[in-house]
């Protein structure tokens, strides 16, 4: 049996009781390493926090390993109970559809244990989840690669009065240019896009495309470390948020569409006043 278990957003305490029971009875435990594992006490150096909690070793599975060793993971899942742990929800921002499809084709039973994802946790800012349009991704621009497909999608959302969730780029285990040339694997340090960079890139594309989709006065909400003890949620214009230091990853950004009074009332609590938020933004237990 293959268990795909969501870990939620904060730290090791955000797994569900159902998820914890399942992982404790599994023979082998993998954890996906595509997103930030910092708050789970996980790094390539040590897996201490989670391993202590589960009383068992955990294998860190990056994208490469899941692709290369899927056969191994699946053959283990055929013989015994295997847990594949995923930050957030198994089918949230990052998907593990491929592993699930392969398992199902082999008639290996798959059980999914849900958890919170950034896709629903952004509801905390007061903007109604059902009033969001299509979600967009903002990739790191390079000298030569500046894809802007998000622009057209934001335009459509805004023309319908809808809010837009922008997921910001995560680069984990990217091979260095040098290593690609030499054929020896070396990796860039992980990079997580900050809200400031995302807004800079958004404004650059608006400048180029000039279709007046948004501008420096467009209202947004910035989220950092959603679900953690020190999560930060700030509402303000792009100009205001551009200069805020949101600190450590992960960050995401919402571009606010048309708002209802009840949405405004809630958003007010997160607004910057003279550059300072109205109240402490640490909201989780």
Which spans of this chain sit near a second copy (rule: CB under 8 A)?
A: 3, 6, 8-10, 12-18, 20-22, 89-93, 95, 97-98, 100-101, 104, 110-117, 119-121, 123-124, 126, 128-137, 156, 160, 162, 165, 167, 227, 262-263, 265-266, 269, 279, 283-285
Q: Who contacts 150 (Cβ-Cβ below 8 Å, separation ≥6)?
A: 136, 137, 138, 166, 202, 205
Nearer residue to a second copy within complex by CB, 50 or 73: 50
Residue 99 in tokens: 């592993």
Residue (241 or 267) nearer to a second copy, CB: 267
Residue 58 makes CB contacts below 8 A (sequence gap 6+) with: 29, 30, 31, 42, 47, 50, 51, 85
**Smaller CB separation from a second copy, 3 or 214:** 3
How many other β-carbons are positioned within 10 Å of the β-carbon of residue 123? 13
Exposure on the CB side of residue 35, measured as CA atoms within 13 A: 28
Distance of closest approach, residue 37 Cβ to a second copy, in angstroms: 17
Q: In angstroms, what is the minimal distance from the CB of 50 to a second copy? A: 12
Specify the pairing of strand 232-237 against strand 219-224: antiparallel
Minimum gap (Å) between residue 187 Cβ and a second copy: 26
Q: Nearest distance from residue 19's CB to a second copy, in Å?
A: 8
Q: How far is the CB of 199 from a second copy (least distance, A)?
A: 20
Q: 124 vs 203, which CB is nearer to a second copy?
A: 124
CB closer to a second copy out of 112 and 203: 112
Cα torsion for 94, 38, 146, 208, to the nearest 10°?
A: 100
Give which of 283, 214, 281, 227 is closest to 254, Cα–Cα: 214
Cβ closer to a second copy: 88 or 236? Answer: 88
d(CA 14, CA 5): 11
Nearer of residues 84 and 242 to a second copy, judged by Cβ: 84
Cα-flanking dihedrals φ and ψ of residue 266, to 5°?
-75, -40
Q: What span, in angstroms and rounded, lies between the C-alpha atoms of 277 and 259?
A: 20
Whole-number Å distance between alpha carbons of 46 and 249: 19
Minimum gap (Å) between residue 174 Cβ and a second copy: 22
CA nearest 77: which of 112, 51, 110? Answer: 110
Nearer to a second copy, 10 or 236 (CB): 10
Q: How far is the CB of 93 from a second copy (least distance, A)?
A: 8
Query: What's the min distance (Å) between Cβ of 158 and a second copy?
Result: 13
């Amino acid at each position: 049996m293959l268990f795909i278990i969501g870990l939620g957003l904060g730290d090791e305490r955000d797994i569900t009781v159902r998820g914890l029971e399942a992982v404790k009875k599994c023979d082998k435990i993998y954890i996906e390493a595509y997103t930030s594992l910092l708050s789970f006490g996980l790094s390539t150096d040590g897996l201490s926090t989670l391993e202590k909690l589960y009383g068992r070793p955990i294998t860190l599975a990056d994208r490469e390993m899941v692709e290369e060793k899927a056969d191994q993971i699946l053959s283990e899942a055929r013989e015994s109970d295997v847990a594949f742990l995923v930050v957030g929800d198994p089918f949230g921002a990052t998907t593990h559809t491929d592993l699930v499809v392969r398992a199902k084709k082999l008639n290996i039973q798959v059980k999914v244990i849900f958890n919170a994802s950034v896709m629903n946790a952004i509801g905390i800012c007061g903007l109604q989840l059902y009033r969001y349009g299509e979600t967009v991704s903002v990739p790191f621009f390079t000298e030569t690669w500046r894809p802007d497909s998000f622009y057209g999608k934001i335009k459509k959302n805004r023309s319908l009065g809808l809010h837009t969730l922008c997921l910001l780029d995560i680069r984990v285990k990217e091979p260095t240019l040098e290593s690609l040339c030499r054929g020896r694997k070396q990796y860039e340090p992980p990079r997580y896009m900050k809200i400031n960079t995302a807004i800079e890139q958004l404004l650059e594309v608006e400048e180029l495309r000039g279709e007046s989709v948004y501008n420096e006065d467009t209202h947004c909400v910035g989220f950092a470390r959603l679900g953690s003890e020190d999560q930060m949620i700030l509402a303000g214009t792009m100009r205001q948020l551009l200069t805020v230091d949101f600190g450590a990853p992960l960050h995401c950004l919402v571009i606010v569409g048309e708002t209802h009074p009840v949405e405004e009332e809630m958003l007010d609590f997160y607004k910057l006043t003279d550059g300072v938020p109205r109240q402490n933004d640490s909201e989780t237990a």
